[in-house]
Structure 1
Amino acid sequence: MQAATHARQTAQGATAPGYDLRQIDCDPNFWYPVAWSAKVRPGKAFAARYAGQPIALIRPEHGPVYALEDRCAHRQVPLSKGVVDEAGCIKCCYHGWAFDRRGQCVTVPYLNREDVGRPVRGYPCRERGGLVFIFPGDPALAETVPLPDVAQVGNPEFKTRQFSPRLKCHYTFMHENLMDMNHQFLHRRQMGSITARFLGQDAGENFMEARYSFARKGGNQPLAEALIFGRHHDLEGREQPVEEVVSVRTTYPYQTLKIHDKDGDLVMDLWACYLPLGETQQVTQAFGLLSVKKPKWAFLLDMAWPVLGIFTHRIFEEDREIVEMEQKAWRELGGDHNIEVFPVVRKLRTLLATHGVPNPHATPQG
């Protein structure tokens, strides 16, 4: 708790030493997705992780999914390797110790006595939008922290795609990459010659938002890009009108990208959470949902859906290569040497530092 307070004071301009942003862990007192619901099958257990914590997700044949520490209290073997019994408890694969959804040991079969086995940690667990969320922080806070809204899942006017790539980088690189739309040069092979136009920003205690439009400077527009951003034409040097507004927002710890057309209607809604992995959180499991508004003739979007998937995958792979290069440079240089000049990203970095928690291995700077 003292470390978290120190990080907040430092980010707000206190004179105390600060921390390298890549050594700031996610605040665990939020709901984090750790698996797709479809991966956790009835009567089965599923192995997941949050940062350095192994998590066992158990879905009984009847009743909701629950989450426990993925270590048996007896010999520390993974509970996710165990068997779900008729009562919905998880039995360790080694000696058959059984644990209920609270993590209490209800059976040590070869002793036939109560109150013998030790409990394991249980995590508050919920499902929304096809994702299983856990609350890895203080369980007493779970009821007061709302689950996030996840794109337009369940809205029949939209078609939604799931994605969950793993990246070899700190989660903060992902927030910076999406927030800073000035990197379109990176995607020139996929999108041709376009440029981002900064329209404005908003900020609050727990969020940072930037708004952009895009202008085509030459070349033909890819079909998939037209589906997402609308039709853009090269006007031979003339200023192009704002046909749509792209809003990128980090509301800690989640990130969204929404596109509204010139009439103000939402046409695309992206939601993402960057789940930290590993003790130093230098690996990220992204969970994302991309919702696209169906046109009047919905079958047109269905026909273009595979093309859109290929296009978004190629764009993401270019981003992946870049953020992993950034992480590699951080390791080789021994810290964060970025010289950031875009005010939006500088404010974003402050937001992430303010709401995160310094890693136990972090070294104060200054």
Structure 2
Amino acid sequence: MNQISPVQADTASRATQPDLRRVDCDPDFWYPVAWSADLRKDKTLAVSYAGTPIVLVRPEEGSVFALYDRCPHRQVPLSKGTVNGQTVRCCYHGWAFGRSGRCIDVPYLGKGKLPNGVRTFPVREAGGLIFVFPGNPEKADTVPFPKLAQTDNPRYKTKHFSPRVNCHYTFMHENLMDMNHQFLHRRQMGQIKARFLGQDRGENFIEARYSFMRCAGQQPLAERLIFGKHKDLQGREQPVEEVVTIRTEYPYQTLRITDKDGDLIMDLWTAYVPVDKEQRVTQSFGLLSILRPQTPLLIDLIWPALGWFTNRIFLEDKEIVELEQAAWNEVGHDRNVEIFPVVVGLRELLARCGIPHGTTRPDTAPATPATQPATA
């Protein structure tokens, strides 16, 4: 009996699977859309989820609220308006909307029946981020909120990053999950080889574990300061000193590094949020927590070097995933030949948990009723 090669198996799998780059993010999850520090009191901030315009509003008192960022009158962005107490007032004719989305005042209407309101989005703030729930709001209280690295643990210092990348979010998941691409980072990392240690899978997650072996070149300074100096073994195989665990637990992704004793050294949490309607532009939000060394203030001294190092690595990844997206744009469909079982499983997970492109839009939910009392 003829055996099926990995390439043949992948070709057969792709024939029965949807084009992964035409699978949209499921909106029924909590997605970060802004950093808390970017929204000041009595101000608005315009953000977007998959082409849906959203305005974040932070009143002088009370929590942040989020509305559909279009005044129903002339479709002018409410984010161009002004905040007054618990309302945002459109910059054009002064229509005012409360945190419930209801229109509570039209200055020239008097006490007549007020027009339609706008859709609201559930909001939460955590880890220095503002999250919205762009899907069915009735699910917001039952969908688990993600654990955000070690943001609440004083033993760790956390770095924020939020790069925008011109690619489908699935390319980002694949890039981080597949540690076999270290050849790409040889100028930053030296010559290292990923060793696959195993994987786990579930209905909504896939996890891969790796260790790394240095083949040639010097250990980068930032890596040495965080993990300690790795000895030159003069050609002998390097033992497992750290274990890197990468997990996509839909729709989020994490990377955790533990030492040989199992103690957590580094904890990365990231979300890839589609910006445009076609979901070809991704806004990443990441929290990178590093264990503070025993020497006081050492983490503050190495922080700039760590930022420079991680940024250089990311820029190389950014260029690659954008080249992948450009190739997809050119041919109009997914022609990737995937042979690494973990990434094959990851693609199946993303296809299963996502939704077909164009199936639903978060802004299609009805707004508040047309006839409303003048209350917030």
Give the structure-2-normalised TM-score: 0.90
**What is the CA distance between 1:239 and its match in structure 2?**
1.9
Partner Cα separation in structure 2 for residue 296 and residue 49 of structure 1: 42
**What is the CA distance between 1:267 and its match in structure 2?**
0.6
Larger displacement relative to structure 2 (106-115 or 299-308): 106-115
SS at match of 1:71: coil
What residue number does 2:320 align with? 322
What residue number does 1:277 align with? 275
What residue number does 1:10 align with? none
1:338-357 equivalent positions in 2, closer than 5 A: 338-357=336-355
> What does the per-residue CA deviation read over 1:169-196, in whole Å, with 9 as the maximum and x for residues that have no partner?
0000000000000000000000101111
Over the aligned positions, Cα root-mean-square deviation in angstroms equals 1.7
Q: State how many pairs are aligned.
A: 349
AA matched with 1:259: I
> What does the per-residue CA deviation read over 1:17-52, in whole Å, with 9 as the maximum and x for residues that have no partner?
642100000000000000001111110010000011
Partner Cα separation in structure 2 for residue 42 and residue 58 of structure 1: 8
- Any conservation in 2 of the 1:212–1:245 contact (CA below 8 Å)? yes
> What does the per-residue CA deviation read over 1:224-274, in whole Å, with 9 as the maximum and x for residues that have no partner?
122344433342232211111100000000000000111111010000000
1:38-117 equivalent positions in 2, closer than 5 A: 38-86=37-85, 88-117=86-115
> What does the per-residue CA deviation read over 1:335-357, in whole Å, with 9 as the maximum and x for residues that have no partner?
11100000000000000000000
Q: Which of 321, 329, 332 is residue 330 of structure 2 equivalent to?
A: 332
What residue number does 1:168 align with? 166
What residue number does 2:311 align with? 313
SS at match of 2:233: coil
Identity across matched positions, percent: 64
Q: Which of 357, 360, 369 is residue 359 of structure 1 equivalent to?
A: 357
Partner Cα separation in structure 2 for residue 28 and residue 220 of structure 1: 44
What residue number does 1:132 align with? 130
1:285-304 equivalent positions in 2, closer than 5 A: 285-304=283-302
Partner Cα separation in structure 1 for residue 183 and residue 162 of structure 2: 25
Unaligned runs of 5+ residues in structure 2 are 1-11, 361-376
Cα 1:179–1:14, aligned 2, differ >3 Å: closer, same or farther?
Answer: closer
- Any conservation in 2 of the 1:151–1:270 contact (CA below 8 Å)? yes
AA matched with 2:43: K
What residue number does 1:200 align with? 198
SS at match of 1:144: coil
1:237-248 equivalent positions in 2, closer than 5 A: 237-248=235-246
Q: Which of 188, 191, 202 is residue 189 of structure 2 equivalent to?
A: 191
- Any conservation in 2 of the 1:218–1:234 contact (CA below 8 Å)? no
What residue number does 2:210 align with? 212
What residue number does 1:7 align with? none
Cα 1:229–1:328, aligned 2, differ >3 Å: closer, same or farther?
Answer: farther
SS at match of 1:231: coil
Partner Cα separation in structure 1 for residue 55 and residue 225 of structure 2: 39
AA matched with 1:323: V
Q: Which of 153, 156, 161 is residue 155 of structure 1 equivalent to?
A: 153
